Amino acid sequence: MRVAMYYANNDVRIEEIALPKIGLGEILMRIEASGICGTDVMEWYRINRVPLVLGHEVAGIVEEVGEGVKDFKKGDRIAAAHHVPCGECHYCKSGHPTVCETLRKTNFYPGGFSEFIRLPAINVKRGVFRLPKEVSFEEATFIEPLACVLRGQKIAGLKKGDTVLILGSGISGILHINLAKALGAARVVATDISDYRLGLAKRFGADEVIDAKNDMPKIEADVVILCTGAVKAVEQALKSVRRGGAVLLFAAADKDAAMLLPINDIFWRTEVTLTSSYAASPQEHEEALKLIASRKIKVRDMITHRLPLAEAGRGFKLVAEAKDSLKVIIEPQRKK
């Protein structure tokens, strides 16, 4: 079968590998759509493990089921989570399943930028979601990223009536804008350094947009969400959060990024929470699917590019450059 093999952001090759064989409790999934995530082009994080097949925002059809699979059959339309928790460890039982050690180790094979993937038994048990007919495959690729956004806003304690500041208006920022508005935020302000993305932020629901290349006006927000890892943005977040508010570190920073914090100025007598989130639980995947199916979060219009597997390299370039794209979807079964 064909895969898009990743060597670097500017070096993605279409190669042939063997079709995965499935075993007890496993599923062979035919990939119909797979979204390119911002973390897929985080080159410093990948470069020591190449070559590899990336892609974790997947939707498709059950091609084959292994012995013991009772809940799914050939032809079922599904989405799948690449990481799933064990449900039994300290972290899972204390409400932090996304830092479970099992979740960190689970994955499907070889990756979503391929014609087929093998879903291990634990993923089939805890991380496969049947798609309702009203949700297309391309819309279903948003389940995982929206689930991550859901978890982040839960951890940050976002509530109805809040003022929310979102720093960075890539696809995660746009999803945060949409979800914050859906949850009843009174005011959502978004920033970016790209005029193109500022326009998208306004189009997708931000009440106000700010060009981060210029000096930022004073903003007091109940929740500040960092969808960029730029140190300058972190500094702005800490200046903008209200007493009793929260700053959510949602995006990864550059490798070895660091900063000094004036601890007393930020935390003493302020009751400010500085927190982070990672990935999403199976429950949040289910919640995200319901939001997409109900059209409370309208994701279809966020897609700017739909490309066949042969053009995966172009897709990676678009996402890495972060200029004239918002969401790039790879469709491995598409010929042109």
Q: Which of 303, 285, 302 is nearest to 80 (CA)?
A: 285
**Which pLDDT belongs to residue 259?**
84
Q: Where are the domains of the chain?
A: 2-142+299-331, 155-276
Residue 336 has pLDDT above 80, yes or no: no
Task: Give mean pLDDT, residues 101-117.
Answer: 97
Q: Are 152 and 223 in contact (CB under 8 A)?
A: no
Q: What are phi and psi of 241, to 5 degrees?
A: -75, 135
Looking at the chain, list the stretches that DSSP marks H as alpha helix, in order from N- to C-terminal side.
Answer: 43-46, 90-93, 101-105, 121-126, 137-140, 143-156, 171-182, 195-203, 231-240, 263-267, 282-293, 312-321
Residue 264 has pLDDT above 90, yes or no: no
**Which pLDDT belongs to residue 261?**
84
Task: Give mean pLDDT, residues 54-58.
Answer: 98
Segment 239-248, tens digit of pLDDT = 999 999 999 9
Angle at 14 between CA 53 and CA 10, to 5 degrees: 75
**Which pLDDT belongs to residue 286?**
98
CA distance 274 to 323: 30
Residue 146 has pLDDT above 80, yes or no: yes
Q: What is the mean pLDDT of the chain?
A: 96
Residue 46 has pLDDT above 80, yes or no: yes
Q: Determine what percent of the chain is predicted with pLDDT higher than 70.
A: 100
Task: Give mean pLDDT, residues 2-27.
Answer: 98
Q: Do domains 2-142+299-331 and 155-276 have the same CATH topology?
A: no
Superfamily covering domain 155-276: NAD(P)-binding Rossmann-like Domain (3.40.50.720)
2-142+299-331 folds as Quinone Oxidoreductase; Chain A, domain 1 (3.90.180)
pTM here is 0.96
Task: Indicate the pLDDT class of residue 313, thresholds 50, 70 and 90.
Answer: very high
Task: Indicate the pLDDT class of residue 333, thresholds 50, 70 and 90.
Answer: very high
CA distance 130 to 143: 12
Task: Give mean pLDDT, residues 67-94.
Answer: 98
Residue 263 has pLDDT above 90, yes or no: no
CA distance 183 to 187: 11
Task: Indicate the pLDDT class of residue 255, thresholds 50, 70 and 90.
Answer: confident
Task: Indicate the pLDDT class of residue 216, thresholds 50, 70 and 90.
Answer: confident
Give 190's DSSP letter.
E
Length reported for the chain: 336
Q: Which of 33, 300, 336, 319 is nearest to 146 (CA)?
A: 300
**Which pLDDT belongs to residue 256?**
86
Task: Give mean pLDDT, residues 56-69.
Answer: 98
Residue 210 has pLDDT above 90, yes or no: yes
